[in-house]
Amino acid sequence: MTVTHVKRYRQALIENNYNPITIRWKLSIVRRFYEAARNAVLRPDNPVAGVKAPRIRQATEDFKYLCDEELARFFSVIPDPDEASGLG
């Protein structure tokens, strides 16, 4: 197996709509297998070592933000630094 084979395998997983986390796990398993083979001197290299899984992207809508009311409540409980230090 070569790096090219591993990249083709990764691309096939992507094209078959595997979840990026699943692809990460599959590549990790193959990477560990070849690392064990390398450590056992059965192979001189690990062809998966430099191959990265696709990034896991999240849409902006997935991020949770404070609404205006929550933000106002948050800031209302923070003491004024000038008043806290006796300068205000």
Is 64 contained in some domain?
yes
In a domain, 53, yes or no: yes
pLDDT over 60 (residue 60): no
| Percent of all residues in the chain with a pLDDT value above 70, rounded to a whole number | 88
- pTM > 0.85: yes or no: no
Q: What is the mean pLDDT of the chain?
A: 85
CA distance 10 to 14: 6
Considering Cα of 49, then 53, then 23, then 14, what sign does the dihedral take?
negative
Residue 16: inside a domain: yes
The reply to whether 88 falls in a domain is no
Considering the domain boundaries, does residue 84 fall inside one?
no
